[in-house]
Structure 1
């Protein structure tokens, strides 16, 4: 007797970024084996789940997570077991972390190897970005070794003087190396001189607590840094990806560069699409300590227009798991407190509520920024699409079901959420990761440390690969 498929999700409305179809999805060996028209009989399987017409989307790819991150004297309170589990709770089946040197004594290669070791505890698949802070003669060889390890992207900060900031010479040299190695340059773009001066002016007036965060990091600082970085990318020919863009002006600069032929990409985060600067006047402004800060209501509305119109390529969480006590410790001085928000678990419902109607309109565009776009841009084979040969990372969702956020009920290793009390749609009802059911009506089923470290292809190599190679197993 022929072996049965491991799993069939029957009667699903299968949604990819390019459209939807009614199908029974057959899963074998951790991969999608077949899509059968829903008008045909349901094939037998070891396990069958009836989707009853609900939306089945590719598992989320979160291209911007910070796990067990050390910054100065602060360390996020999570580890890979916690963050990967929270990701699965939130419909994300692949995360990409950063190997950021904790201080000048740690090299980019050492930082990346440390994260690869820690990732052995992950419950979902993991990719990694490297990070360069300062250039020296060893960097090219380190970048070559990182590429051999499957780490094909490097993040650099244009701000955070004295800690993670890379100067323009370093950025330019790394960009040239990324061209040579067919990699992607990630940029945190905020103009350090403007921010430093603006922060000093506010400090001189005694306006340096968390309630003044949004006033110390103006939109101009982000947009000038994007413009300057795009000029370096044009000069070197380097593909460039801007993390957590918070202004329509920054996005428009990237759009203009793309029209001129540059491979440039915009990422934003759920909090920039839904929260505005008025949160810094609320009871717990510490919940919203992040850089860039929340912007004006007008800016938020314009940013939302751009994500709906397709000008923004990915929505990532920028997950950083500090708790409220760490935030409160120095909320009197934003120069001393840790910045970053927990969000890997809420990325799906916040973005879904922003982009998709209760009837499911807009779901294809959501799939693009939630899964397909980040998988394609980051050269993750087998991710972001429900099709034969792709990984069986699947999420079932009812677009009309709403739940209220309770930070205490989430699973990210912290005690708050910036979305506390908000009613959101788009919570996953079933999550399948590598063919395993990890979340269903009976709760979370911990698969153990089964997550794989994903070795990524070259940037242009991946974009030019035919579909069958894009689906090939790692």
Structure 2
């Protein structure tokens, strides 16, 4: 009788069906999936009964190092507590962006010492003259390349000029990786913010008003046209408006390989949250009108949005509070890795808005497929034994003070959620037991991108 390292029992969410069954795990991989009647013996057996055993969530949009107080340890502990078994860390680090191989390799070493879940790393390029690093970064294991049409910081988070975008796309196309963009029209936004400041219109909703939908859609249109002519695989991050998805559908019909994500705040909040929560609800692009949020949900239901990410930005109060009297003085972004998966479960499966299989696809399978992450994203034989176990009946209340992240602020503080992460398992090892993170920093592994030199 074959003995497994671990046997996991529960409602197993496979690629095309949910079964009351069991998974045999050997050497960190899924070795077999069987109905409950089968006799599976394991050194350890975890029986979750009627809880769902989902593939571990993959969050493609996380910023560990935009706040110097954060980093891999608190972010990956937060991820573990939030059912995220793999995340993709963005390249806009302080003090230096991940725009050359030397910096990239140092980050890999730090990751291997500090992570508690598995992590892929994004690369980026300097504002000008940085494209020669693209092929070396791809070979070093970058999972994809992130660039921006909006300037947050000329060195760390620059707006890339069009000629450099074209050069970058041509080189990224050769690697087979994706070129991803923060897509906002810098010139219009900067001009509108200047006008608003001069008129002393600095109230919370001014953040939305100075970034109207056309600032997103016009930037996305340009990038898709560039992708049409270069053949690169394009990914649009944090889509906030349904028209952006309408345009993406048009370009897909013309053969452009373009994928898109939205983030949980764009689905679960609207612009009124800026009045209610002030800087805590400030993110880029901004929260939209209720009818625009409803339009995003329609696209989710039709399968037009590939995946949902957090855009986890772990700012402290010191970064947010300057915006209490002038919204433009506040940092943009909110933490999310610890609450995204349960919040999305509560808004979808718990409310009958999507099936567990659809949930698994948008939170795990599609992220793995879009970014070509091997062995991750679904419960299938040969894949990593990465699971997010959710009790669908459990109700709990979000408490920002309990976050593992140093960022202890969220507009979702005090919200009751149906669906609780009761266990997170990475490569067959429990990293979160429903109460505590159960592994030491260094358990998590670097997952190299598809163009890495072996």
Q: TM-score range by the shorter chain?
A: over 0.9
Residue 65 of structure 2 corresponds to: 68
Whether the 8 Å CA contact 1:359–1:399 is kept in 2: the answer is no
Matched, 1:182 2:180: no
Residue 36 of structure 1 corresponds to: 34
Whether the 8 Å CA contact 1:308–1:365 is kept in 2: the answer is no
Q: Mean alpha-carbon deviation: is it higher for 414-423 or for 370-379?
A: 414-423
Residue 18 of structure 2 corresponds to: 20
Q: How far off is 1:3 after superposition?
A: 7.2
Per-residue CA deviation, residues 137-186 of structure 1 (Å, 9 max, x unaligned), is x522x111111111141111101265221111111110011111222100
Give the secondary structure class of the aligned counterpart of 2:50. Answer: coil
* Distance in 2 between residues matched to 1:255 and 1:106, nearest whole Å: 32
Q: Mean alpha-carbon deviation: is it higher for 398-407 or for 332-341?
A: 332-341
Per-residue CA deviation, residues 271-324 of structure 1 (Å, 9 max, x unaligned), is 000101111112x31111210111111111111121122110010010010112
Per-residue CA deviation, residues 188-227 of structure 1 (Å, 9 max, x unaligned), is 0011111112111211210135442111111110011111
1:5-404 alignment, distance < 5 Å: 5-10=4-9, 12-41=10-39, 43-69=40-66, 75-100=67-92, 102=94, 107-120=99-112, 121-136=114-129, 139-140=131-132, 142-160=133-151, 163=154, 164-282=158-276, 284-357=277-350, 362-404=355-397
CA 1:139–1:101: 2 relative to 1, 3 Å: farther
Residue 418 of structure 1 corresponds to: 411
Whether the 8 Å CA contact 1:100–1:112 is kept in 2: the answer is no
Give the secondary structure class of the aligned counterpart of 1:99. Answer: coil
Q: How far off is 1:368 after superposition?
A: 1.0
CA 1:106–1:367: 2 relative to 1, 3 Å: closer
TM-score w.r.t. the length of structure 2 is 0.93
Q: How far off is 1:19 after superposition?
A: 2.6
Give the secondary structure class of the aligned counterpart of 1:245. Answer: coil
TM-score w.r.t. the length of structure 1 is 0.90
Whether the 8 Å CA contact 2:347–2:353 is kept in 1: the answer is no
CA 1:406–1:145: 2 relative to 1, 3 Å: same
Give the secondary structure class of the aligned counterpart of 1:428. Answer: strand
CA 1:336–1:317: 2 relative to 1, 3 Å: same
Whether the 8 Å CA contact 2:122–2:142 is kept in 1: the answer is yes
Give the secondary structure class of the aligned counterpart of 2:49. Answer: coil
Gaps of 5+ in 2: none
* Distance in 1 between residues matched to 2:260 and 2:375, nearest whole Å: 22
Q: What's the C-alpha RMSD, in Å, of the aligned pairs?
A: 2.2
Per-residue CA deviation, residues 339-372 of structure 1 (Å, 9 max, x unaligned), is 1110011110121122213579521111111110
Whether the 8 Å CA contact 1:99–1:111 is kept in 2: the answer is no
CA 1:231–1:98: 2 relative to 1, 3 Å: same
* Distance in 2 between residues matched to 1:441 and 1:345, nearest whole Å: 12
Whether the 8 Å CA contact 1:189–1:222 is kept in 2: the answer is yes
- For these two proteins, the number of residue pairs brought into alignment is 449
* Distance in 1 between residues matched to 2:72 and 2:93, nearest whole Å: 18
Give the secondary structure class of the aligned counterpart of 1:5. Answer: strand
CA 1:370–1:161: 2 relative to 1, 3 Å: closer
Whether the 8 Å CA contact 2:99–2:126 is kept in 1: the answer is no
Whether the 8 Å CA contact 1:244–1:269 is kept in 2: the answer is yes
* Distance in 1 between residues matched to 2:152 and 2:437, nearest whole Å: 42
CA 1:92–1:219: 2 relative to 1, 3 Å: same
Give the secondary structure class of the aligned counterpart of 2:41. Answer: coil
* Distance in 1 between residues matched to 2:405 and 2:97, nearest whole Å: 30
Give the secondary structure class of the aligned counterpart of 2:179. Answer: strand
Gaps of 5+ in 1: 70-74, 460-473
Give the secondary structure class of the aligned counterpart of 1:411. Answer: coil
Q: How far off is 1:253 after superposition?
A: 1.1
Per-residue CA deviation, residues 254-282 of structure 1 (Å, 9 max, x unaligned), is 12211222110110000000101111112
* Distance in 2 between residues matched to 1:439 and 1:29, nearest whole Å: 19
Whether the 8 Å CA contact 1:403–1:424 is kept in 2: the answer is yes
Residue 72 of structure 1 corresponds to: none
